[in-house]
Amino acid sequence: MAETSLFHSIRIDKKKCIGCVACMKICPTRAIRIRNQKANIAYGKCIDCGECMRVCPQNAIVPITTSSADLNRFKYKVALPSPVLYFQFGHHIMPHEILSVLKEIGFNHVYDEALVCEMVGLAIEQYLDENKSPRPIISSTCPVVVRLIQRLFPTLCKNIVPIEPPREIAAKNLRDELSKEKNLLKEDIGIIHITPCAAKMVSINHPATMKKSFLDGAISIREIYNSIMMKIKKLGRPSILQTQNRISGIGIGWSIPGGEIRALKYHNCVSVSGLHDTIKILEDVESGKLKDIEYLECLICPDGCVGGPLTVENRFIAKSNALRLIRMYGGKKRVDSNFVKKLYNDKFFSFESSVQPKPFPPLDTDRTKAIKKLKFKEKIARKLSGKDCGLCGAPDCITFAEDVARGEAKLEDCIYIKIKRSKGEGKYEKKKT
Protein backbone atom coordinates (compact mmCIF):
# COMPACT_ATOMS: atom_id res chain seq x y z
CA MET A 1 0.00 0.00 0.00
CA ALA A 2 2.44 2.59 -1.18
CA GLU A 3 -0.10 5.27 -1.91
CA THR A 4 1.11 8.69 -0.90
CA SER A 5 -0.37 12.16 -0.82
CA LEU A 6 0.58 12.46 -4.49
CA PHE A 7 -2.47 10.41 -5.36
CA HIS A 8 -4.81 12.47 -3.24
CA SER A 9 -6.40 15.88 -2.90
CA ILE A 10 -5.95 16.34 0.82
CA ARG A 11 -2.87 17.15 2.83
CA ILE A 12 -2.38 17.72 6.54
CA ASP A 13 -0.47 20.81 7.53
CA LYS A 14 1.54 19.36 10.41
CA LYS A 15 2.37 22.83 11.74
CA LYS A 16 -1.27 23.69 12.24
CA CYS A 17 -2.49 20.26 13.37
CA ILE A 18 -2.87 20.02 17.15
CA GLY A 19 -3.80 16.35 17.18
CA CYS A 20 -7.44 16.69 18.20
CA VAL A 21 -9.68 13.83 17.14
CA ALA A 22 -12.17 15.71 14.92
CA CYS A 23 -10.94 14.46 11.54
CA MET A 24 -10.20 10.96 12.78
CA LYS A 25 -13.71 10.59 14.15
CA ILE A 26 -15.49 11.74 11.01
CA CYS A 27 -13.45 9.75 8.48
CA PRO A 28 -15.80 7.21 6.88
CA THR A 29 -13.06 4.78 5.88
CA ARG A 30 -11.18 5.15 9.17
CA ALA A 31 -8.10 6.26 7.31
CA ILE A 32 -6.83 8.71 9.96
CA ARG A 33 -4.82 7.95 13.07
CA ILE A 34 -3.28 10.32 15.58
CA ARG A 35 0.39 9.54 16.05
CA ASN A 36 2.73 11.75 18.08
CA GLN A 37 0.00 14.37 18.53
CA LYS A 38 -0.52 14.77 14.80
CA ALA A 39 -3.11 13.41 12.41
CA ASN A 40 -1.85 11.02 9.77
CA ILE A 41 -3.77 9.87 6.73
CA ALA A 42 -3.33 6.30 5.53
CA TYR A 43 -3.68 7.28 1.90
CA GLY A 44 -4.36 3.73 0.84
CA LYS A 45 -7.70 4.06 2.59
CA CYS A 46 -8.55 7.69 1.74
CA ILE A 47 -11.41 8.27 -0.72
CA ASP A 48 -11.00 12.07 -0.82
CA CYS A 49 -14.46 12.85 0.50
CA GLY A 50 -13.22 15.99 2.25
CA GLU A 51 -15.15 15.39 5.47
CA CYS A 52 -11.96 15.87 7.51
CA MET A 53 -11.40 19.21 5.82
CA ARG A 54 -14.88 20.36 6.81
CA VAL A 55 -14.53 19.53 10.49
CA CYS A 56 -10.94 20.54 11.19
CA PRO A 57 -11.12 23.36 13.76
CA GLN A 58 -7.55 24.45 12.97
CA ASN A 59 -7.90 24.58 9.18
CA ALA A 60 -4.98 22.20 9.10
CA ILE A 61 -6.32 20.08 6.30
CA VAL A 62 -5.52 21.61 2.97
CA PRO A 63 -6.96 20.77 -0.44
CA ILE A 64 -4.51 20.27 -3.28
CA THR A 65 -5.66 21.83 -6.55
CA THR A 66 -3.97 23.12 -9.71
CA SER A 67 -1.53 25.93 -9.02
CA SER A 68 -1.34 29.04 -11.18
CA ALA A 69 2.14 27.96 -12.29
CA ASP A 70 0.67 24.72 -13.59
CA LEU A 71 -2.04 26.68 -15.28
CA ASN A 72 0.43 28.91 -17.09
CA ARG A 73 1.99 25.91 -18.81
CA PHE A 74 -0.87 26.01 -21.26
CA LYS A 75 -0.95 28.37 -24.21
CA TYR A 76 -4.71 28.25 -24.45
CA LYS A 77 -6.62 28.11 -21.18
CA VAL A 78 -10.21 26.94 -21.04
CA ALA A 79 -12.48 27.22 -18.01
CA LEU A 80 -15.09 24.51 -17.59
CA PRO A 81 -17.00 25.53 -14.48
CA SER A 82 -19.27 23.23 -12.54
CA PRO A 83 -22.72 24.86 -12.70
CA VAL A 84 -22.40 25.19 -8.91
CA LEU A 85 -20.30 28.27 -9.64
CA TYR A 86 -23.41 30.02 -10.98
CA PHE A 87 -25.18 29.63 -7.63
CA GLN A 88 -22.50 31.38 -5.59
CA PHE A 89 -23.47 34.90 -6.48
CA GLY A 90 -26.57 36.95 -5.80
CA HIS A 91 -29.58 36.43 -7.98
CA HIS A 92 -28.93 39.48 -10.10
CA ILE A 93 -25.82 37.90 -11.62
CA MET A 94 -26.57 35.48 -14.44
CA PRO A 95 -24.55 32.47 -15.66
CA HIS A 96 -23.66 34.25 -18.90
CA GLU A 97 -22.14 37.10 -16.97
CA ILE A 98 -20.07 34.79 -14.83
CA LEU A 99 -18.83 33.01 -17.93
CA SER A 100 -17.81 36.26 -19.56
CA VAL A 101 -16.04 37.42 -16.39
CA LEU A 102 -13.99 34.21 -16.46
CA LYS A 103 -12.75 35.34 -19.87
CA GLU A 104 -11.78 38.67 -18.38
CA ILE A 105 -9.67 37.11 -15.65
CA GLY A 106 -7.34 35.10 -17.82
CA PHE A 107 -9.14 32.27 -19.57
CA ASN A 108 -9.07 32.24 -23.36
CA HIS A 109 -12.27 30.30 -23.59
CA VAL A 110 -15.15 29.29 -21.34
CA TYR A 111 -17.66 26.52 -21.68
CA ASP A 112 -20.96 25.83 -19.97
CA GLU A 113 -21.34 22.23 -18.81
CA ALA A 114 -25.13 22.19 -18.49
CA LEU A 115 -25.85 21.13 -22.05
CA VAL A 116 -23.48 18.19 -21.70
CA CYS A 117 -25.22 17.19 -18.46
CA GLU A 118 -28.39 16.85 -20.46
CA MET A 119 -26.62 14.74 -23.08
CA VAL A 120 -25.11 12.45 -20.47
CA GLY A 121 -28.59 12.07 -18.96
CA LEU A 122 -29.88 10.77 -22.30
CA ALA A 123 -26.90 8.42 -22.59
CA ILE A 124 -27.68 7.02 -19.12
CA GLU A 125 -31.26 6.44 -20.19
CA GLN A 126 -30.04 4.60 -23.28
CA TYR A 127 -27.80 2.43 -21.09
CA LEU A 128 -30.73 1.59 -18.78
CA ASP A 129 -32.83 0.67 -21.84
CA GLU A 130 -30.20 -1.69 -23.18
CA ASN A 131 -29.04 -3.28 -19.91
CA LYS A 132 -31.71 -4.74 -17.68
CA SER A 133 -29.36 -6.03 -15.02
CA PRO A 134 -27.76 -5.50 -12.57
CA ARG A 135 -30.00 -3.18 -10.60
CA PRO A 136 -29.79 -0.55 -9.33
CA ILE A 137 -27.40 1.17 -11.70
CA ILE A 138 -25.38 3.72 -9.74
CA SER A 139 -24.34 7.15 -10.98
CA SER A 140 -20.67 7.76 -11.84
CA THR A 141 -20.79 11.54 -11.39
CA CYS A 142 -19.38 11.87 -7.88
CA PRO A 143 -15.74 10.69 -7.91
CA VAL A 144 -15.89 10.02 -4.18
CA VAL A 145 -18.80 7.62 -4.60
CA VAL A 146 -16.83 5.72 -7.23
CA ARG A 147 -13.88 5.45 -4.85
CA LEU A 148 -16.11 4.56 -1.91
CA ILE A 149 -17.57 1.69 -3.94
CA GLN A 150 -14.11 0.50 -5.02
CA ARG A 151 -12.97 0.47 -1.41
CA LEU A 152 -15.91 -0.40 0.80
CA PHE A 153 -18.39 -1.97 -1.60
CA PRO A 154 -16.20 -3.69 -4.19
CA THR A 155 -19.01 -6.03 -5.16
CA LEU A 156 -20.94 -3.04 -6.51
CA CYS A 157 -18.34 -1.92 -9.06
CA LYS A 158 -20.45 -3.63 -11.72
CA ASN A 159 -23.43 -1.44 -10.84
CA ILE A 160 -21.69 1.83 -11.71
CA VAL A 161 -23.01 3.22 -14.98
CA PRO A 162 -20.08 2.92 -17.43
CA ILE A 163 -20.58 6.43 -18.73
CA GLU A 164 -18.17 9.27 -18.06
CA PRO A 165 -19.57 12.23 -16.10
CA PRO A 166 -20.40 15.51 -17.89
CA ARG A 167 -17.16 17.28 -16.97
CA GLU A 168 -15.08 14.63 -18.76
CA ILE A 169 -17.38 14.40 -21.77
CA ALA A 170 -17.42 18.20 -22.09
CA ALA A 171 -13.61 18.34 -21.98
CA LYS A 172 -13.28 15.53 -24.51
CA ASN A 173 -15.58 17.29 -26.92
CA LEU A 174 -14.01 20.71 -26.34
CA ARG A 175 -10.46 19.64 -27.02
CA ASP A 176 -11.42 18.14 -30.37
CA GLU A 177 -13.50 21.14 -31.35
CA LEU A 178 -11.02 23.80 -30.25
CA SER A 179 -7.98 22.20 -31.81
CA LYS A 180 -9.78 22.14 -35.17
CA GLU A 181 -11.47 25.50 -34.87
CA LYS A 182 -8.53 27.51 -33.55
CA ASN A 183 -5.83 25.42 -35.17
CA LEU A 184 -4.19 24.55 -31.86
CA LEU A 185 -2.12 21.59 -30.75
CA LYS A 186 -4.16 19.44 -28.41
CA GLU A 187 -1.48 19.58 -25.72
CA ASP A 188 -1.43 23.38 -25.79
CA ILE A 189 -5.03 23.46 -24.64
CA GLY A 190 -5.46 23.39 -20.86
CA ILE A 191 -9.00 22.54 -19.83
CA ILE A 192 -9.54 23.45 -16.19
CA HIS A 193 -12.54 22.41 -14.18
CA ILE A 194 -13.81 24.95 -11.67
CA THR A 195 -14.82 22.65 -8.87
CA PRO A 196 -16.83 22.63 -5.64
CA CYS A 197 -14.61 19.85 -4.19
CA ALA A 198 -11.03 18.66 -4.25
CA ALA A 199 -11.99 15.11 -5.14
CA LYS A 200 -12.27 16.07 -8.80
CA MET A 201 -8.54 16.71 -8.71
CA VAL A 202 -7.98 13.06 -7.87
CA SER A 203 -10.26 11.89 -10.63
CA ILE A 204 -8.25 14.09 -13.01
CA ASN A 205 -4.81 12.97 -11.84
CA HIS A 206 -5.71 9.34 -11.28
CA PRO A 207 -8.89 8.52 -13.14
CA ALA A 208 -10.55 5.24 -12.21
CA THR A 209 -11.81 4.38 -15.68
CA MET A 210 -9.27 5.65 -18.21
CA LYS A 211 -5.57 6.13 -18.70
CA LYS A 212 -5.69 9.90 -18.81
CA SER A 213 -8.42 12.34 -17.91
CA PHE A 214 -9.68 14.73 -20.57
CA LEU A 215 -9.31 17.53 -18.05
CA ASP A 216 -5.96 19.11 -17.25
CA GLY A 217 -6.61 20.42 -13.80
CA ALA A 218 -9.06 21.86 -11.31
CA ILE A 219 -9.34 25.13 -9.45
CA SER A 220 -11.72 25.44 -6.56
CA ILE A 221 -14.66 27.81 -6.55
CA ARG A 222 -13.17 29.26 -3.37
CA GLU A 223 -9.88 30.12 -5.07
CA ILE A 224 -11.50 31.94 -7.95
CA TYR A 225 -14.47 33.53 -6.16
CA ASN A 226 -12.76 36.75 -5.11
CA SER A 227 -11.34 37.55 -8.52
CA ILE A 228 -14.75 37.02 -10.11
CA MET A 229 -16.41 39.20 -7.50
CA MET A 230 -13.85 41.99 -7.90
CA LYS A 231 -14.22 41.96 -11.67
CA ILE A 232 -17.99 42.07 -11.50
CA LYS A 233 -17.81 45.04 -9.17
CA LYS A 234 -15.41 46.80 -11.49
CA LEU A 235 -17.25 46.10 -14.73
CA GLY A 236 -20.71 46.80 -13.47
CA ARG A 237 -22.76 44.74 -15.89
CA PRO A 238 -20.33 42.75 -18.00
CA SER A 239 -20.97 42.16 -21.67
CA ILE A 240 -23.06 39.10 -22.30
CA LEU A 241 -21.52 36.31 -24.30
CA GLN A 242 -23.37 35.96 -27.54
CA THR A 243 -22.09 32.55 -28.53
CA GLN A 244 -23.53 30.57 -25.67
CA ASN A 245 -27.04 31.59 -24.96
CA ARG A 246 -28.39 28.07 -24.78
CA ILE A 247 -28.16 27.11 -21.13
CA SER A 248 -30.01 23.95 -20.29
CA GLY A 249 -32.35 24.00 -17.30
CA ILE A 250 -32.23 20.21 -17.11
CA GLY A 251 -28.44 20.38 -17.15
CA ILE A 252 -28.23 23.01 -14.42
CA GLY A 253 -30.43 20.75 -12.32
CA TRP A 254 -27.61 18.19 -12.20
CA SER A 255 -25.95 20.22 -9.47
CA ILE A 256 -28.65 19.57 -6.93
CA PRO A 257 -29.90 16.21 -5.65
CA GLY A 258 -32.29 14.47 -7.99
CA GLY A 259 -30.90 16.29 -11.02
CA GLU A 260 -29.75 13.17 -12.80
CA ILE A 261 -33.02 11.34 -12.32
CA ARG A 262 -35.43 14.19 -12.97
CA ALA A 263 -35.21 13.86 -16.72
CA LEU A 264 -35.09 10.05 -16.84
CA LYS A 265 -38.17 8.29 -18.14
CA TYR A 266 -37.72 5.67 -15.42
CA HIS A 267 -39.69 6.50 -12.33
CA ASN A 268 -38.27 4.09 -9.82
CA CYS A 269 -35.09 6.04 -9.17
CA VAL A 270 -33.62 7.26 -5.92
CA SER A 271 -31.38 10.17 -5.04
CA VAL A 272 -29.24 10.16 -1.91
CA SER A 273 -26.86 12.80 -0.67
CA GLY A 274 -24.52 13.02 2.27
CA LEU A 275 -21.81 10.62 3.27
CA HIS A 276 -23.51 8.55 5.93
CA ASP A 277 -26.77 8.17 4.03
CA THR A 278 -24.82 7.11 0.96
CA ILE A 279 -22.99 4.43 2.93
CA LYS A 280 -26.27 3.26 4.43
CA ILE A 281 -27.96 2.92 1.07
CA LEU A 282 -24.97 1.17 -0.52
CA GLU A 283 -25.10 -1.35 2.32
CA ASP A 284 -28.71 -2.01 1.41
CA VAL A 285 -27.81 -2.37 -2.25
CA GLU A 286 -25.03 -4.81 -1.35
CA SER A 287 -27.55 -6.92 0.55
CA GLY A 288 -29.63 -7.12 -2.60
CA LYS A 289 -32.38 -5.13 -0.92
CA LEU A 290 -32.95 -2.53 -3.62
CA LYS A 291 -33.08 -4.58 -6.79
CA ASP A 292 -36.32 -3.01 -7.94
CA ILE A 293 -34.73 0.45 -8.13
CA GLU A 294 -33.54 1.33 -11.61
CA TYR A 295 -31.08 4.14 -10.98
CA LEU A 296 -29.42 5.39 -7.86
CA GLU A 297 -27.88 8.83 -7.72
CA CYS A 298 -25.44 9.08 -4.81
CA LEU A 299 -23.68 12.30 -3.94
CA ILE A 300 -21.24 12.42 -1.07
CA CYS A 301 -21.71 16.03 -0.08
CA PRO A 302 -24.85 17.06 1.80
CA ASP A 303 -27.31 18.32 -0.83
CA GLY A 304 -24.89 17.23 -3.54
CA CYS A 305 -22.35 19.46 -5.27
CA VAL A 306 -23.91 22.69 -3.91
CA GLY A 307 -22.73 21.41 -0.52
CA GLY A 308 -19.16 20.87 -1.74
CA PRO A 309 -16.44 21.75 0.79
CA LEU A 310 -14.77 24.24 -1.57
CA THR A 311 -17.80 26.40 -2.27
CA VAL A 312 -18.44 29.85 -0.80
CA GLU A 313 -22.19 30.38 -0.54
CA ASN A 314 -23.96 28.27 2.08
CA ARG A 315 -25.63 25.32 0.50
CA PHE A 316 -29.20 26.32 1.25
CA ILE A 317 -28.88 29.66 -0.48
CA ALA A 318 -26.96 28.03 -3.33
CA LYS A 319 -29.72 25.47 -3.71
CA SER A 320 -32.35 28.15 -3.80
CA ASN A 321 -30.34 30.02 -6.45
CA ALA A 322 -30.14 26.79 -8.43
CA LEU A 323 -33.88 26.20 -8.24
CA ARG A 324 -34.52 29.71 -9.45
CA LEU A 325 -32.26 29.23 -12.47
CA ILE A 326 -33.80 25.85 -13.23
CA ARG A 327 -37.24 27.46 -13.24
CA MET A 328 -35.99 30.26 -15.39
CA TYR A 329 -34.37 28.08 -18.06
CA GLY A 330 -37.22 25.60 -17.93
CA GLY A 331 -37.38 21.84 -18.35
CA LYS A 332 -37.40 21.90 -22.13
CA LYS A 333 -35.06 19.37 -23.74
CA ARG A 334 -32.41 21.22 -25.67
CA VAL A 335 -30.50 18.26 -26.96
CA ASP A 336 -31.37 16.19 -30.03
CA SER A 337 -31.84 12.66 -28.74
CA ASN A 338 -30.99 11.07 -32.10
CA PHE A 339 -27.67 12.84 -32.07
CA VAL A 340 -26.95 11.56 -28.56
CA LYS A 341 -27.99 8.05 -29.63
CA LYS A 342 -25.47 8.14 -32.43
CA LEU A 343 -22.70 9.32 -30.09
CA TYR A 344 -23.73 6.65 -27.59
CA ASN A 345 -23.47 3.94 -30.23
CA ASP A 346 -20.03 5.28 -31.18
CA LYS A 347 -19.10 4.79 -27.50
CA PHE A 348 -18.39 8.49 -27.14
CA PHE A 349 -19.68 8.47 -23.53
CA SER A 350 -18.28 5.09 -22.49
CA PHE A 351 -15.67 4.29 -19.88
CA GLU A 352 -12.36 3.28 -21.40
CA SER A 353 -12.06 0.53 -18.79
CA SER A 354 -14.41 -0.70 -16.10
CA VAL A 355 -14.21 0.34 -12.45
CA GLN A 356 -11.97 -2.13 -10.63
CA PRO A 357 -12.60 -3.25 -7.04
CA LYS A 358 -9.92 -1.98 -4.67
CA PRO A 359 -10.95 -3.54 -1.36
CA PHE A 360 -8.96 -2.80 1.76
CA PRO A 361 -6.30 -5.38 2.39
CA PRO A 362 -7.53 -8.25 4.58
CA LEU A 363 -6.02 -8.76 8.03
CA ASP A 364 -3.47 -11.01 6.35
CA THR A 365 -2.97 -12.26 2.83
CA ASP A 366 -2.62 -15.78 4.18
CA ARG A 367 -6.14 -16.88 5.05
CA THR A 368 -5.20 -19.03 8.03
CA LYS A 369 -3.23 -16.14 9.51
CA ALA A 370 -6.04 -13.72 8.70
CA ILE A 371 -8.51 -15.87 10.61
CA LYS A 372 -6.11 -16.04 13.55
CA LYS A 373 -5.86 -12.25 13.52
CA LEU A 374 -9.64 -11.94 13.26
CA LYS A 375 -10.05 -14.05 16.39
CA PHE A 376 -7.37 -12.01 18.13
CA LYS A 377 -9.14 -8.79 17.07
CA GLU A 378 -12.42 -10.02 18.54
CA LYS A 379 -10.70 -11.05 21.75
CA ILE A 380 -9.15 -7.60 22.14
CA ALA A 381 -12.43 -5.89 21.25
CA ARG A 382 -14.11 -7.69 24.15
CA LYS A 383 -11.49 -6.29 26.53
CA LEU A 384 -11.99 -2.69 25.45
CA SER A 385 -14.38 -0.25 27.08
CA GLY A 386 -16.36 0.52 23.91
CA LYS A 387 -16.32 4.22 24.81
CA ASP A 388 -14.64 5.08 21.48
CA CYS A 389 -12.76 7.93 23.16
CA GLY A 390 -10.07 8.13 20.49
CA LEU A 391 -7.25 8.74 22.97
CA CYS A 392 -5.34 5.71 21.68
CA GLY A 393 -5.08 7.42 18.31
CA ALA A 394 -7.65 5.22 16.57
CA PRO A 395 -11.18 6.41 15.84
CA ASP A 396 -13.02 3.72 17.79
CA CYS A 397 -12.45 0.62 19.89
CA ILE A 398 -13.10 -1.87 17.07
CA THR A 399 -10.64 -0.13 14.78
CA PHE A 400 -8.11 -0.02 17.60
CA ALA A 401 -8.57 -3.78 18.10
CA GLU A 402 -7.95 -4.25 14.41
CA ASP A 403 -4.82 -2.09 14.53
CA VAL A 404 -3.51 -4.18 17.41
CA ALA A 405 -4.29 -7.40 15.54
CA ARG A 406 -2.47 -6.05 12.49
CA GLY A 407 0.48 -5.16 14.69
CA GLU A 408 0.09 -1.43 14.02
CA ALA A 409 -0.76 -0.44 17.63
CA LYS A 410 -0.07 -1.72 21.11
CA LEU A 411 -2.76 -2.72 23.61
CA GLU A 412 -1.19 -0.38 26.20
CA ASP A 413 -2.07 2.57 23.96
CA CYS A 414 -5.58 2.22 25.40
CA ILE A 415 -5.89 4.48 28.42
CA TYR A 416 -8.46 2.26 30.15
CA ILE A 417 -6.30 -0.83 29.80
CA LYS A 418 -3.39 1.19 31.19
CA ILE A 419 -5.38 2.37 34.22
CA LYS A 420 -6.66 -1.13 34.88
CA ARG A 421 -3.16 -2.51 34.74
CA SER A 422 -1.74 0.16 37.02
CA LYS A 423 -4.46 -0.66 39.56
CA GLY A 424 -3.38 -4.27 39.34
CA GLU A 425 -6.65 -5.43 37.88
CA GLY A 426 -5.01 -7.98 35.65
CA LYS A 427 -6.70 -10.92 34.08
CA TYR A 428 -6.46 -13.01 37.22
CA GLU A 429 -8.19 -10.53 39.52
CA LYS A 430 -10.97 -10.01 37.03
CA LYS A 431 -11.79 -13.67 36.99
CA LYS A 432 -12.19 -13.72 40.77
CA THR A 433 -14.85 -11.03 40.90
Partner 1 sequence: MQSKILLQQNFEIKGGDFINAGESSIKIRNILKDIGIDSDIIRRVAIVAYEAEMNVVMYARHGKMHLYVYSNKILLKIEDRGQGIKDIDLAMQPGYSTATEEMREMGFGAGMGLPNIKKNSDVFNINSTIREGTKLEIKINLNNKNG
| Contact map string, positions 379 to 408, toward partner 1, x by CB under 8 A | -----------------------x------
Asked if 371 is part of the footprint of partner 1 (rule: CB under 8 A), the reply reads yes
Provide the strand spans (E) within 282-334: 295-299
Binding residues for partner 1, total number by CB under 8 A:
26
Kindly tell me the burial class for residue 31, based on how many C-beta atoms sit within 10 Å of its own C-beta (0-12, 13-18, 19 or more).
buried
Do 63 and 200 form a contact (C-beta atoms < 8 A)?
no
**Which positions from 197 through 226 interact with partner 1, judged by CB under 8 A?**
none
Residues 6+ apart with CB under 8 A from 293: 135, 136, 268, 269, 270
- Pick from 133, 183, 287, 345 the residue near partner 1 by CB under 8 A: 287
Q: Output the CA torsion sign for 84, 87, 89, 94.
A: positive
Considering only residues 288, 338, 423, 424, which one is a binding residue for partner 1 as defined by CB under 8 A?
A: 288
Helices (DSSP H) in 7-85: which residue ranges?
A: 22-26, 51-55, 68-71
- Closest residue by Cα to residue 168 from 121, 128, 120: 120
Determine which residue in the list 35, 182, 375, 387 makes contact with partner 1, applying CB under 8 A.
Answer: 375
Compute the distance between CA of residue 296 and CA of residue 290 in angstroms, rounded to an integer: 10
Check residue 176 for interaction with partner 1 (CB under 8 A). Answer: no
Tell me which stretch binds partner 1 (CB under 8 A): 88-96, 162-170, 224-232, 286-294. 286-294
The dihedral sign for the CA sequence 258, 264, 269, 275: negative
Tell whether residue 154 is a contact of partner 1 (CB under 8 A).
Answer: yes
Near partner 1 by CB under 8 A, which window of 27-35, 120-128, 259-267, 368-376?
Answer: 368-376
- Yes or no: say if 71 and 180 are a contact pair by the CB < 8 Å rule: no
Does 357 bind partner 1 (CB under 8 A)? Our answer is yes
> Which letter does DSSP use for residue 35 in this model?
E
Among 3, 286, 388, 413, binds partner 1 (CB under 8 A): 286
**Amino acid symbol at 342:** K
Which listed residue (367, 379, 387, 430) binds partner 1 by CB under 8 A?
A: 367
Alpha-carbon distance 214 to 90, whole Å? 32
Comparison of 362 and 386: residue with beta carbon closer to partner 1: 362
Cβ-proximal residues to 296 (8 Å cutoff; 6+ apart), any chain: 136, 137, 138, 139, 159, 269, 270, 271, 272, 281, 285, 290
Determine which residue in the list 283, 352, 408, 429 makes contact with partner 1, applying CB under 8 A: 283
- Decide whether 292 or 346 has the Cβ nearer to partner 1: 292
- Contact between 422 and partner 1 by CB under 8 A: the answer reads no
> Per CB under 8 A, does 177 bind partner 1?
no
Where does this chain touch partner 1 (CB under 8 A) — which range of 4-12, 248-256, 266-274, 352-360? 352-360
Regarding 279 and contact with partner 1 (CB under 8 A), the answer is no
Binding site for partner 1 (CB under 8 A): 154-155, 283-284, 286-289, 292, 357, 359-368, 370-371, 374-375, 377, 402
